[in-house]
Chain A
Amino acid sequence: MTWEPVIGIEVHVELRTDSKMFCGCAVSFGEEPNVNVCPVCLGLPGSLPVPNRRAIEWITEIGLALNCQISPVSVFHRKNYFYADLPKNYQISQYDVPVAHDGWLEITVDGETRRIGIERAHMEEDTGKSIHLGGGGRIHSAEATLLDFNRAGVPLVEVVSRPDLRSAVEARVYAQELRALVAELGVSDARLEEGSIRFDANVSVRRRGTDEFGTKVEIKNMNSFRSLERAIDFEIRRQVDVLDGGGELVQETRHWDEEAGVTRGMRTKEGSSDYRYFTEPDLVPMVIDDAWQAEIRAAMPELPADRRARYLSLGVDPQTAGALVGAPPAFRRLFDEAVDAGADAKAAANWITGELVAWARREEVDPAEVAVTGAGLAELVAMVAAAELSASAAKDVLDGMARGEGSAREVAERRDLLQITDRGALEAVVDEVLAEHPDAVERYRSGEAKVVGFLVGQVMRASGGKADPRAVNELIRSKLDET
């Protein structure tokens, strides 16, 4: 393959603020048409927009989470175009000074982690919805169009990536990461099926090794991550086929047809659109000063990247830290509580990601319902470290704890899993075994050191598995060596 795909993604995120971007109407999904409307979001003559402070805080959170610069002063612009579901026939948006710019988001594909550049995140208002009647629901053959303005004016954040993505899989992973991020921040329902998060892709291909961009095609209408990946894959193949066949690509917008599995050019004439942006004179510049930005940052939940860094600093190894970052929230809370209760972080992380995640899946128990407490996990970790429990016994104990059978010690006692830590008791068993196997003792003394393993095994069996193999090993050697 001599062609390299170049992909950029534009994401529209509807914020789930209580009220719309520029008026007091409620933001809610699935209502009767045209109930959440007022003179402002209907664009009635004389009405004026007033910005929603919460929405500005939330786009700032998104910007900070995407490692962006936040513009201390940013400006709203009018984007002019005529469309029936756009009440003012201009959209209040941002142009040359977006709230956030120049950031990045990390994605990991096939074990390789890359930073995808974020060009900008800007604030705008959503449009209403057109419902075309007759003619198969398409605008050009419709007999009538109904309009629902409930969505008109809902705060919308557009996040534009740099053309840093190189495959459909990367694009899909980027979209998923971004969705997870806004969900984590709690600023959007981020539901693809309801359109509260929407993805468009800009796709081009170029000869590998060149820096110039090929002709860009914008793809719309992908309603799932799977269709995003399929659509981009199809489009890359289509473009390569055209170019390999000696053809030329046209810059256009194409719609993804999910059923047919193809992208289709829109038959409408598309002159180069001129949105005649100019500063929105009904609004004053948005000032996000350092103090406000600090306030916003302080109120943000911990983000995956910060969380990972914290885990690493606690001594968790990178792979386990990665698994814990992606673990269910209840398990991440359990980890924090266990560490607070004095547990060794590395061991606690290992128990959670290695054992508890699998247990919950196997037993089909919601992580939040798993009965292990932070103090309980800390106790378990301490008992293993003190050799009171063997690794395999500890798994049994954890199972009991997860079922709510009690503390680590209670479960260990009830299930009779405690290791023999009393040296006197252990010595008695060792002495007994040595006495039973004089031949092995003889072989050791004649230099066959590995026979110790056999003796340890005999002691373990004699103790019913409750002896600590390491302690037994030491004890046998010291007894054989001392005479």
Chain B
Amino acid sequence: MSLADLTIAEAAKGLRRGAFGARELIDAVLERAAKTEAELHAYLTIDHEGAREAAARADEELASGVDRGPLHGIPVALKDNLCTEGLETTCASQILAGYHPPYDATAVRKLREAGAIPVGKTNLDEFAMGSSTENSAYGPTRNPWDTDRVPGGSSGGSAAAVAAGSALGALGSDTGGSIRQPAALCGLVGMKPTYGLVSRYGLVAFASSLDQIGPITRTVEDAILLLEAIAGHDPADATSWAGELPDFRSELGRGVEGLRIGIVEELSGDGYEPAVLAAVDAMVSSLEAEGARVQEVSLPTFDVALSAYYLIAPAEASANLARFDGVRYGLRVPGATTEEMMARTRAEGFGPEVIRRILLGTYALSAGYYDAFYGQAHRVRTLITRDFARAYEQVDVLVSPTSPTVAFPVGARTEDPLAMYLSDICTIPSNLAGHPAISIPIGLDPAGLPIGFQVMAPALSEPLLFRVAAEVERLASFDARPEVVTP
């Protein structure tokens, strides 16, 4: 086994035991990338030099007794919508080709301070708009479990990198499921924290009221390690949580006995693959066998969550992406007037899905339509939050599939945006409510493709979420790895 296949926790132990150094670890990871990237294209940029330098520094520090904690010397991948000082950040868009931010995103800075080593910037659907990482201006990423299939999205590059061993863990961003869905499709743990728990400063905004940065890892323990490093109040983000941080480990190991678990009625049925539903049912039975009290719960507004999401997110995006105009940075396509330059730059710089969403959002906010679309979507959002609150009077956590299907073939949904949007049907409600949710791999379908199990919990209930996730992980004892890893 290569060092690249260690979990973060295992690698942290190995580094401290002196079994290997951070340089050997990064070399193993870079070697894995060299082997897999041609086929997977998980990364847009690999920072060989920077990563090796950081690893050398980590070795020196650890040797001299400076220990920055469990992430010290750990190679991590960063989704390419996180600003990295001096390292190209494109959001997988032509419009930001060659853009080098002058500052690190807060989450990136915190990872660096914790001693983690950024391997590079991972591919995504342009500006995080998509569920397959096919909407990248630099070409799609492929699923390490089956390279004819998508890794999910939009954090598909981060998920593929962690699954393939070209990083030990990664950061993604989740606006409607963009961490959890690719984690599920790549057999990984993916976690979206409570809105505000992780600073959004330096995350290139897609939909500001929904975006959250979170970890994609091989284990629940690793997800906690990453989240511990990046969570916390940031004065630079007015929406970041200023209260006390929960202790993410405080409920670990308590099991699920007596815990009330709700199965979301609305997240099953037509459109869900039988293998996915069967695996979820089996996991629910296992939890029940462990003493959990399971019941079905109905959250009727979930049926309209997707519609509300596809008004709110594009509306916010239409403003967030207005700044890409060729004036101050990024692509500039000349024109006879400033307006023409802006229009050409945007027409050439944005891909079709981004343009579709900007148009959708602009329309939803327009005079005369605002109330029927954006206003209505906001009312739905309030109702969804109320549905959650009602459900949490009956149960402690909610569970569902993470995605209705396993990884689908490349190209299968590119011509049908609606089918693509349906990939996020299970994950969107948590974003609309601002609640935490996590996906844990629980098995493979008959074709050998991973299936994810989603656990949702109330705001700031990360300790409970991790407790249940760890139990799901233990019960599933999922230890399969994609073929690319085992040559």
- Any B CB within 8 A of the CB of A89: yes
Q: Which residues of B contact A49 (CB under 8 A)?
A: 238
Cβ contact of B201, chosen from A48, A274, A277, A281, cutoff 8 A: A48
- Any B CB within 8 A of the CB of A87: yes
- Whole-angstrom distance between the alpha carbons of A163 and B332 in the complex? 44
- Whole-angstrom distance between the alpha carbons of A49 and B367 in the complex? 26
Cβ contact of B239, chosen from A47, A278, A284, cutoff 8 A: A284
Q: How far is the CB of B92 from chain A (nearest CB, A)?
A: 13
Q: Which residues of B contact A89 (CB under 8 A)?
A: 319, 322-323, 325
- Whole-angstrom distance between the alpha carbons of A277 and B367 in the complex? 9
**B contact set with A: CB distance below 8 Å:** 81-83, 89, 91, 96, 99, 101-103, 105, 200-205, 207-209, 235-239, 315-316, 318-319, 322-325, 327-329, 337-339, 342, 362, 365-367, 370, 374
Q: Which residues of B contact A140 (CB under 8 A)?
A: 337
Given A43-B323, A45-B91, A278-B319; 18 other pairs, CB 8 A cutoff: A39-B101, A39-B102, A44-B101, A45-B99, A46-B83, A47-B201, A48-B236, A48-B239, A84-B338, A89-B322, A89-B325, A140-B337, A272-B367, A276-B319, A278-B365, A282-B205, A282-B239, A284-B238
Binary interface profile of A, 128-144, with partner B (CB < 8 Å = 1, else 0)? 00000000000110000
Q: How far is the CB of A33 from chain B (nearest CB, A)?
A: 13
Cβ contact of B365, chosen from A50, A51, A272, A276, cutoff 8 A: A276
Q: Which residues of A contact B205 (CB under 8 A)?
A: 45-46, 282
- Whole-angstrom distance between the alpha carbons of A84 and B343 in the complex? 12
Task: Return 17 A-B CB contacts under 8 Å, by A number.
Answer: A39-B103, A45-B83, A46-B81, A46-B82, A46-B203, A50-B237, A51-B238, A89-B325, A90-B322, A139-B338, A147-B327, A276-B318, A276-B367, A277-B365, A278-B370, A282-B238, A283-B238
Q: Which residues of B contact A87 (CB under 8 A)?
A: 323, 328
Q: How far is the CB of A449 from chain B (nearest CB, A)?
A: 85
Task: Find the A residue at minimum CB distance from B325.
Answer: A89
- Whole-angstrom distance between the alpha carbons of A51 and B236 in the complex? 10
Cβ contact of B89, chosen from A45, A80, A88, cutoff 8 A: A45
- Whole-angstrom distance between the alpha carbons of A277 and B375 in the complex? 11
Q: Which residues of A contact B366 (CB under 8 A)?
A: 274, 276
Q: Which residues of A contact B328 (CB under 8 A)?
A: 42-44, 87, 147
Q: How far is the CB of B345 from chain A (nearest CB, A)?
A: 11
Known A45-B204, A50-B235; judge A82-B339 contact (CB<8 A): yes
Known A46-B205, A82-B325, A82-B342; judge A278-B236 contact (CB<8 A): no
Task: Find the A residue at minimum CB distance from B341.
Answer: A84
Those of A260-290 within 8 Å (CB) of chain B: 272, 274, 276-278, 281-284
- Any B CB within 8 A of the CB of A78: yes
Q: How far is the CB of B348 from chain A (nearest CB, A)?
A: 16
Secondary structure type dominating chain B contacts: loop
Task: Find the B residue at minimum CB distance from A130.
Answer: B338
Q: Which residues of A contact B105 (CB under 8 A)?
A: 46
Q: Is the CB of A80 within 8 A of B203?
A: no
Q: Which residues of A contact B342 (CB under 8 A)?
A: 82, 84
Q: Which residues of A contact B339 (CB under 8 A)?
A: 82
Most chain B beta-carbon contacts within 10 A, residue among A39, A45, A80, A147: A45
Q: Which residues of B contact A17 (CB under 8 A)?
A: none
- Whole-angstrom distance between the alpha carbons of A390 and B51 in the complex? 93
Size class of A's contact patch? 20 to 34
Q: How far is the CB of A134 from chain B (nearest CB, A)?
A: 13
- Any B CB within 8 A of the CB of A145: yes
Those of A114-162 within 8 Å (CB) of chain B: 139-140, 145, 147
Task: Find the B residue at minimum CB distance from A83.
Answer: B338
Those of A329-353 within 8 Å (CB) of chain B: none
- Whole-angstrom distance between the alpha carbons of A139 and B338 in the complex? 9
Q: Which residues of A contact B237 (CB under 8 A)?
A: 48, 50
Total contacts A-B at CB 8 Å: 105
Q: How far is the CB of A4 from chain B (nearest CB, A)?
A: 31
- Whole-angstrom distance between the alpha carbons of A45 and B202 in the complex? 7
Most chain B beta-carbon contacts within 10 A, residue among A42, A48, A277: A48
- Whole-angstrom distance between the alpha carbons of A45 and B365 in the complex? 22
Q: How far is the CB of B466 from chain A (nearest CB, A)?
A: 27
- Whole-angstrom distance between the alpha carbons of A43 and B329 in the complex? 10
Cβ contact of A145, chosen from B208, B325, B338, B370, cutoff 8 A: B338
Known A82-B342, A278-B315; judge A50-B322 contact (CB<8 A): no
Q: How far is the CB of A212 from chain B (nearest CB, A)?
A: 24
Q: How far is the CB of B476 from chain A (nearest CB, A)?
A: 36
Q: Which residues of B contact A47 (CB under 8 A)?
A: 201-202
Q: Is the CB of A82 within 8 A of B91?
A: no
Q: How far is the CB of A24 from chain B (nearest CB, A)?
A: 10
Q: Which residues of A contact B235 (CB under 8 A)?
A: 50
- Whole-angstrom distance between the alpha carbons of A282 and B210 in the complex? 10
- Whole-angstrom distance between the alpha carbons of A246 and B206 in the complex? 53
Q: Which residues of B contact A44 (CB under 8 A)?
A: 101-103, 328-329
Cβ contact of B322, chosen from A39, A80, A145, A147, cutoff 8 A: A80
Q: Which residues of B contact A281 (CB under 8 A)?
A: 207-209, 239, 316
Known A44-B102, A90-B319; judge A84-B327 contact (CB<8 A): yes
Q: How far is the CB of B322 from chain A (nearest CB, A)?
A: 4
Q: Is the CB of B365 within 8 A of A46?
A: no
Q: Is the CB of B362 within 8 A of A276?
A: yes
- Whole-angstrom distance between the alpha carbons of A276 and B204 in the complex? 22
Q: How far is the CB of A66 from chain B (nearest CB, A)?
A: 27
Q: Is the CB of B208 within 8 A of A45?
A: no
Task: Find the B residue at minimum CB distance from A78.
Answer: B319
Q: How far is the CB of B237 from chain A (nearest CB, A)?
A: 5
Q: Which 5 A-B pairs have CB atoms at the shortest separation, nearest pair first?
A: A89-B322, A281-B209, A281-B208, A276-B365, A46-B202
- Whole-angstrom distance between the alpha carbons of A355 and B324 in the complex? 65
Q: Which residues of B contact A278 (CB under 8 A)?
A: 315-316, 319, 365, 370, 374
Q: Which residues of B contact A84 (CB under 8 A)?
A: 325, 327, 338, 342
Q: How far is the CB of B102 from chain A (nearest CB, A)?
A: 7
Known A45-B204, A50-B235; judge A80-B323 contact (CB<8 A): no
- Whole-angstrom distance between the alpha carbons of A44 and B84 in the complex? 13
Q: How far is the CB of A280 from chain B (nearest CB, A)?
A: 8
Q: Is the CB of A46 within 8 A of B367?
A: no
- Whole-angstrom distance between the alpha carbons of A157 and B358 in the complex? 30
Q: Is the CB of B101 within 8 A of A82?
A: no
Q: Which residues of A contact B329 (CB under 8 A)?
A: 44-45
- Whole-angstrom distance between the alpha carbons of A47 and B237 in the complex? 9
Task: Find the B residue at minimum CB distance from A132.
Answer: B338
Q: Which residues of A contact B202 (CB under 8 A)?
A: 46-47
Those of A42-68 within 8 Å (CB) of chain B: 42-51
Q: Which residues of B contact A48 (CB under 8 A)?
A: 200-201, 236-239
Task: Find the A residue at minimum CB distance from B83.
Answer: A46
Q: Which residues of A contact B203 (CB under 8 A)?
A: 46
- Whole-angstrom distance between the alpha carbons of A277 and B316 in the complex? 11
Q: Which residues of B contact A284 (CB under 8 A)?
A: 238-239
